[in-house]
Structure 1
Amino acid sequence: MLLKQFLTAVTAPLARRQPGISTMRLSLEISSLGQFLPWGVHLDSFQLEGMAAEWIKPDKADPSRVLLYLHGGGYVLGSLNTHRSLVGALAQRCGLHALAIDYRKAPEYPFPAALEDALLAYRWLLRQGYRPHDIIVAGDSAGGGLALALLLALRDGQEPLPAAAIGLSPWTDLVLPTATIRKVAHEELQFLEALAIRGWGGQYAGTAPLTEPLVSPVRASLHELPPLLLQTSDAEVLYDDVLTFAAKARIAGVPVTLQTFAGLVHWWHLFWRVLPEARTALDQVASFTNGIWAAQEAAAQVVLAARTSAKRIKPDVRLRARL
């Protein structure tokens, strides 16, 4: 509640003036100057085929598994700088190396530019020797929606899918129905946020319809996707959309873990240093990823046991054939 009041006091006056995207980008970059990687997490910046990217490597992390992270910001804001602290905290808790990319943003680069960059990064990881089942894709807000769109594009292209995907308050429906606007009209910060992201959705979609499944993943057929973890708060503009996506994915047979929190504003994960609920959420992400690896190892043991059993049976089969 205190965080919500603080953000309303700080950001609502700015939002009412409807600043341009350049001003908002600069404000976010300035605000990110005070964000640092957790202790024991190391940074390696590089160019991934012409795109700015970062390896974020915690001490003692498993180098054979990777978290591909796509930052949020309504497809128009955000950068490696604004999300570095969050990605570092996630990587450290999950015990993984994380790859974060600075995908192209609207309005300069509308759809499908961001999706193309996400695909580029995923395919690059495969070329580096990472196996699909050792990659987890994650993102927050628009980055969460982009992570889901990445799964859809890979599935439809018959490319290997990652082990799982994580959406932190993912933006799954860029249409942002009028009913959602009305629902949050009594909350000034949410109302202004809803109006802003509705405009950003149009800028990202460009000439594509907002109902295009790769733009609004909730509009897609969601069959044959890997396990999903979705987190959201009931005080967010996107809350209903996340619930709708989770329900639709479950109907399609996708394993979905849905975790909801109370009274937290959008982008609350970014405040993990001061918000206990955010730290709890990141710990739950780590539990989810550990569960994915544990399930893989259990499945591998079953396969190994079956092969061992088959080898033991074969000599008996040969003996009976001689008799």
Structure 2
Amino acid sequence: MDSSKPLWSSQPFKAVYTAYFLLKTPVHLLLLSVGYIVKPLRPLPSWSVRDNVHAAMARMLFSFWSATWSQRPVYTAPEKAHDRHALVDPPPDSYFTGALVASDLVKPVAVDAIWFPSPPSSNPAELAKQKVILHFPGGAFVLAFSHESSGRPIANMLNKHFKADRTIWAQYRLSGTPETCFPAAVQDAVSFYHYVISLGVNPANIIVSGDSAGGNVAIALARYLQSNQPNLPLPRGVVVFSPWVHVTATAGRDYDREPPSRADILHSSVLQWGADVYRPQAQLPLEIEAYISPLHHPFELSVPLYVQAGTAEGMYSHIRSFSEEMDRVGGNRVRFHSTPLAPHNLPFCHEQFGRKKEFEESLDEASEFLGPANGI
């Protein structure tokens, strides 16, 4: 992994760069707002002026966070969730084998979980009948967002449309040091999943979910559970939104080569930053590569996999290809949902882009796909 920090991440340079960003950005956005009135000048002419400006602002923020290594730009301490906060201890070492085995540097640790809308019941008989969504949030493996301002709206939508009793916001470790590169995030995913089962929740009532990099973690967890290495039962199904499936050593350049990336919300620098610090090294054994970058590494999965992507996102072609590869594996049940003109990560930005209806339609379709009609 490359953990060398950029100049602007250290003081006093960070303060100078921040001041420059705060002075420049409003002017830049104002000029873009005027320029985008002319439809051909918009990065995506079929989007409104507002949508194009929102996307431009997001790209600026991602670029700024990457330049300054600001890993928690909008963050709420987990302890502020009070009784909805749980400190999840990792299970015994025997649950971490193969690609997830602990090394001298990367070891399973306790992680923070936040429950929505309330903490789990203390009655095991009641828990056994309840449906729980285990959700891994995105952030390119390097960014964490508030479990309140980001997590609560997403959890509310998931609970409503999947008719779930609770969603657990599972913030895995961010990468940035040799101790937090792969397999740290997936080790944490195993810890979260083991924790939910240990409470008494029936695995058939657990839906594993994730957006963006969190979708990558959800897919990696599914791959690991399918291998039966941890001797943990599989969940009811896996639902991922805009999963980052092409996490290569050249992630930034790969993204920029995709035509929709010019208008999408992500900036290539945040993807390159994430790939640099999440990947242990540029060249990896095939088994490890498959967990980190699942595109072109399909696997057998005995539970349904639902994948959503927006046609206006820079990752669209990679996500579609991954879904097609998974669908070609004999016995797999895969549903790919293409949302027209949607940007990256609808769970995170559907409100800003006026795509709530499209997000809800995708959630309803995913719920139906994972329902009793599929024998789950």
Per-residue Cα deviation, 1:274-310 (whole angstroms, up to 9, x for no partner): 54533332343234224423236xx59xxxxxxxxxx
Q: Shift in Å at residue 54 of structure 1?
A: 1.3
Q: Residue 89 in 1 paired to residue 149 in 2? A: no
Structure 1 residues 276 and 257 mapped into 2: Cα distance closer, same or farther (>3 Å)?
farther
The corresponding residue for 2:220 is: 149
The corresponding residue for 1:294 is: 372
Taking structure 2 as the reference length, the TM-score comes to: 0.67
Structure 1 residues 290 and 262 mapped into 2: Cα distance closer, same or farther (>3 Å)?
closer
The corresponding residue for 2:321 is: 244
Per-residue Cα deviation, 1:62-113 (whole angstroms, up to 9, x for no partner): 9611111000000111243433321222112222111111211111311111
The corresponding residue for 2:98 is: none
Taking structure 1 as the reference length, the TM-score comes to: 0.77
Count residues in correspondence. Answer: 285
1:55-66 map, 5 Å: 55-57=115-117, 64-66=130-132
Structure 1 residues 48 and 279 mapped into 2: Cα distance closer, same or farther (>3 Å)?
farther
Q: Shift in Å at residue 147 of structure 1?
A: 0.3
Of residues 280, 285, 301, the one that matches 2:358 is 280
Output the amino acid matched with 2:213.
A
The corresponding residue for 2:25 is: none
Q: Which structure has the bigger radius of gyration?
A: 1
d(CA) in 1 for partners of 2:200, 2:211: 26
d(CA) in 2 for partners of 1:187, 1:160: 42
Structure 1 residues 224 and 9 mapped into 2: Cα distance closer, same or farther (>3 Å)?
closer
The corresponding residue for 2:38 is: none
Q: Shift in Å at residue 233 of structure 1?
A: 0.9
Bigger drift between 3-12 and 91-100 goes to 3-12
Output the amino acid matched with 2:308.
Q
The corresponding residue for 2:209 is: 138
Structure 1 residues 257 and 199 mapped into 2: Cα distance closer, same or farther (>3 Å)?
same
Output the amino acid matched with 1:65.
K
Of residues 85, 88, 94, the one that matches 1:45 is 85
d(CA) in 1 for partners of 2:349, 2:264: 17
The corresponding residue for 2:348 is: 270
Q: Is the 8 Å Cα contact of residues 86 and 272 (structure 1) preserved in structure 2? A: no
Bigger drift between 213-222 and 251-260 goes to 213-222
Per-residue Cα deviation, 1:219-238 (whole angstroms, up to 9, x for no partner): 43411341111111111111
Of residues 283, 287, 290, the one that matches 1:213 is 290
Q: Residue 111 in 1 paired to residue 111 in 2? A: no
Per-residue Cα deviation, 1:10-39 (whole angstroms, up to 9, x for no partner): 2344455553222x522x339xxxxxxxxx
Q: Residue 169 in 1 paired to residue 242 in 2? A: yes
Identity level (%): 23
Q: Shift in Å at residue 243 of structure 1?
A: 0.6
The corresponding residue for 2:16 is: none
d(CA) in 1 for partners of 2:112, 2:255: 35
Q: Residue 19 in 1 paired to residue 67 in 2? A: yes
Q: Structure 1: any 5+ residue segments left out of the alignment?
A: 31-41, 301-323
The corresponding residue for 1:181 is: 256
Q: Shift in Å at residue 184 of structure 1?
A: 3.1
Larger helix share, 1 or 2? 1
Secondary structure, aligned partner of 2:303: coil
Structure 1 residues 275 and 217 mapped into 2: Cα distance closer, same or farther (>3 Å)?
same
The corresponding residue for 1:235 is: 312
d(CA) in 1 for partners of 2:136, 2:261: 31
Q: Is the 8 Å Cα contact of residues 53 and 101 (structure 1) preserved in structure 2? A: yes
Q: Tell me: higher relative CO, structure 1 or 2? Use CA pairs within 8 A at least 6 residues apart.
A: 2
Structure 1 residues 103 and 247 mapped into 2: Cα distance closer, same or farther (>3 Å)?
same
The corresponding residue for 1:29 is: 75
The corresponding residue for 1:99 is: 168
The corresponding residue for 2:13 is: none
Q: Shift in Å at residue 9 of structure 1?
A: 4.0
Q: Shift in Å at residue 203 of structure 1?
A: 0.9
Q: Structure 2: any 5+ residue segments left out of the alignment?
A: 1-46, 77-81, 90-109, 119-125
d(CA) in 2 for partners of 1:125, 1:204: 26
RMSD: 3.2
d(CA) in 2 for partners of 1:29, 1:131: 32
d(CA) in 2 for partners of 1:244, 1:188: 21
